[in-house]
């Protein structure tokens, strides 16, 4: 019996001590103030100050601009939280950071949620339904400011690179799309690239016209001349087909001899 009570008593003492420690630890952390994850919200303070000003009261456009600037700061903080939270969670699991930084991030996340709800409510007081698109407008304004800052910092960045790496190389010229210009500069004394290209086009057109004329001559049949009628309308014997005419220079086939008389043909039969 004693052998069973000793382990049960040991387990009860361990569990009780853990519960007491966790109770006091939570009570201590509840009243503890963590270091803020973000600095003070200056844009929110400016908007609240303008809203409380009564002599003279601020213009509505000024209040809207201050509220938009406040929403832009909130959007930038939301983006930073989304980027930092997975990394901090991974580091916390590995034991690389303490619980204070993680609790500070969680507290900043809760404060930011309340801030967003407040901005939406303030935007709806100016124009009904503006609270649904004010953060979209703020995101577009942030992107525009980022691009403009990069563009304005181009000259300074170039100066820093020249100071760090020395003289910047010459700009690279892209090759021309013209085949004549891509072949390289013409030799001295030759025609400019435009004149050479025009001459090449004219030569190609002339060759095409010559080829078309030659093909037309080959495909067109030569006109046959009608046979001349003999004098008196009489046809000479053996003229069933016209005799070939011999050219003046002796070319061509000679005319065939006339066929034999009908008497000799009968004897052969």
- Specify the pLDDT at position 147: 93
- Specify the pLDDT at position 96: 86
Q: In 10 A of CB 223, how many CB atoms?
A: 6
- Specify the pLDDT at position 228: 47
CB-CB contact of 75 with 139 (8 Å): yes
Nearest to 141 by CA among 41, 44, 69, 67: 69
pLDDT digits (tens, 9 = 90+) for 199-217: 677 777 787 887 777 677 6
pLDDT grade, residue 235 (50/70/90)? Answer: very low
Helix ranges restricted to H, 31-178: 42-52, 60-94, 99-126, 134-152, 154-165
Q: Work out the end-to-end distance of the chain between its first and last CA atoms, rounded to an integer number of angstroms.
A: 155
Residue with tokens 């008593």: 9
Q: Residue 85 pLDDT more than 60?
A: yes
- Specify the pLDDT at position 218: 60
pLDDT digits (tens, 9 = 90+) for 48-79: 999 998 888 899 999 999 999 999 999 999 99
CB-CB contact of 266 with 260 (8 Å): no
Residue with tokens 């690179």: 161
For the chain, give the mean pLDDT: 75
- Specify the pLDDT at position 31: 56
Q: Residue 128 pLDDT more than 50?
A: yes
Nearest to 29 by CA among 104, 89, 112, 93: 104
State if pTM tops 0.85.
no
Nearest to 81 by CA among 43, 40, 111, 122: 111
């Amino acid at each position: 019996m004693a052998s069973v009570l000793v382990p049960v008593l040991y387990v009860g003492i361990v569990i009780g001590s853990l519960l007491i420690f966790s109770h006091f630890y939570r009570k201590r952390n509840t009243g503890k103030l963590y270091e803020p994850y973000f600095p003070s919200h200056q844009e929110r303070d400016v908007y609240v100050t303008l809203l409380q000003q009564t002599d003279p009261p601020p213009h509505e456009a000024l209040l809207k601009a201050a509220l938009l600037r406040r929403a832009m700061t909130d959007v930038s903080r939301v983006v930073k939280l989304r980027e930092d939270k997975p990394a901090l969670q991974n580091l916390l699991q590995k034991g690389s950071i303490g619980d204070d930084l993680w609790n500070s991030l969680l507290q900043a996340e809760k404060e930011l949620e309340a801030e967003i709800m407040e901005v939406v409510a303030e935007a709806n007081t100016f124009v009904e339904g503006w609270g649904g698109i004010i953060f979209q407008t703020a995101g577009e304004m942030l992107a525009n400011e980022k691009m403009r800052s990069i563009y304005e910092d181009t000259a300074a960045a170039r100066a820093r690179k020249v100071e760090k790496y020395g003289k910047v190389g010459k700009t690279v010229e892209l090759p021309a799309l013209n085949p004549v210009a891509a072949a390289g500069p013409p030799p001295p004394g030759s025609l400019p690239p435009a004149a050479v290209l025009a001459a090449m086009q004219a030569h190609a057109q002339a060759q095409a016209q010559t080829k078309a004329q030659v093909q037309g001559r080959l495909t067109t049949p030569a006109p046959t001349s009608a046979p001349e009628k003999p004098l008196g309308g009489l046809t000479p014997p053996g003229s069933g087909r016209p005799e070939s005419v011999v050219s003046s220079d002796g070319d061509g086939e000679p005319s065939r001899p006339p066929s034999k008389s009908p008497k000799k043909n009968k004897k052969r039969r």
